[in-house]
Chains A and B, each alone.
Chain A
């Protein structure tokens, strides 16, 4: 039961984009079309889930035992960069179809702060292994939900008659703000 409430909290109530502001750069950058947004979302879920498991194990098995917790940032970013490279090579060899679909998004994910953010939050919130797995999948699913919804809205915004100065990222940010107000409504959920 607690795991279900953790899932819903991380998926909707504390949505990674609208409430925690992690991964806003790809959210604004790769949300022009719904299908590319969905591709990015799936790639992010895959990498975040994998990265959380590996960083969690490394943190507890290596860093804590050797009292090297202060190296966390360097170690985690290296793991994520290597992981993304590895996933890219693996998919290229064994699942060319999936690689074609995700290909261009994978290198971008290294600098997606959501990946490092979730890995660090797993440690800060002192989650158990199962909890951190649920948290990372729910959070990244929340990222996908946000980016797909936003891409849908942006399709319409492109046809709106706007003042010249607000076109582009300015109106995108205001749109995201209005969607964020909608997500504030989830804060009332009793779990």
Chain B
């Protein structure tokens, strides 16, 4: 697999949210506005790429029996760094994302990439894999949070795009809207990928 394909793989064929459906908790919880979705996506890209680099660099030193705890410590270290950075520089976003920033550490996609890719491949490939998966996550977050913000508020990033007369669909920004819209989004992705194959 060449490097471009590794990158593309994470966005389309193995998109973490829309295809593999891992790490759903944060996806459902914080996509109430596009800004939150983008913020969370970038935080995950940073942790995923960082932990992929370190795990790939250490892959010959970590004994096989203790590899999962070792991976978790590396991931937790990067999550703590992001947590402190966001606390310092983007305080509003930090408050909006709340408990879901420390919870990046148990986001299955990061441990899954460490186990399935970074622990077996070179550093450069692992960086590309981390970026690809991270961008795939970000794309899914932008789609879901964009849809929810338009339907629930009539705005994009706080700017009004639907006319004042539009009655906001409150359900979209409430918890049920997250489940239903993500379900339908996955349905659309399934439909498109089936049509492409046929």
Contact = CB atoms under 8 A, between A and B. Distances in A.
B122 interface: no
B190 A170 contact: yes
B186 interface: yes
B105 A184 contact: no
A25 B186 contact: no
A174 B181 CA distance: 8
B29 A20 contact: yes
A116 B182 contact: no
Given A25-B24, A73-B83, A74-B73, A170 B186 contact: yes
A28 B17 CA distance: 13
Contact of B108 (A22, A25, A71, A184): A25
B57 interface: no
B63 interface: no
Interface centre among A18, A171, A174 (most CB of B within 10 A): A174
Nearest to B183: A173
B97 to A, nearest CB: 12
Main secondary structure of the interface of B (DSSP, over half): helix
A87 to B, nearest CB: 16
Interface string B97-119: 01100110111100100000000
Interface stretch (A88-96, A137-145, A175-183): A175-183
Interface of B: 21-26, 28-29, 69, 72-73, 76-77, 79-80, 83-84, 98-99, 102-103, 105-108, 111, 171, 174-180, 182-184, 186-188, 190-191, 194
30 contacts: A21-B24, A21-B25, A21-B178, A22-B25, A24-B25, A24-B28, A25-B23, A28-B21, A73-B76, A73-B102, A78-B72, A78-B76, A81-B72, A111-B108, A113-B25, A113-B107, A116-B105, A165-B188, A165-B190, A169-B21, A169-B183, A170-B184, A170-B190, A171-B187, A172-B183, A173-B186, A174-B179, A177-B183, A178-B176, A180-B176
Given A21-B24, A170-B184, 16 more contacts: A22-B25, A28-B21, A28-B24, A72-B102, A73-B79, A74-B80, A111-B106, A113-B103, A165-B190, A169-B183, A169-B186, A173-B183, A173-B186, A174-B179, A178-B176, A178-B180
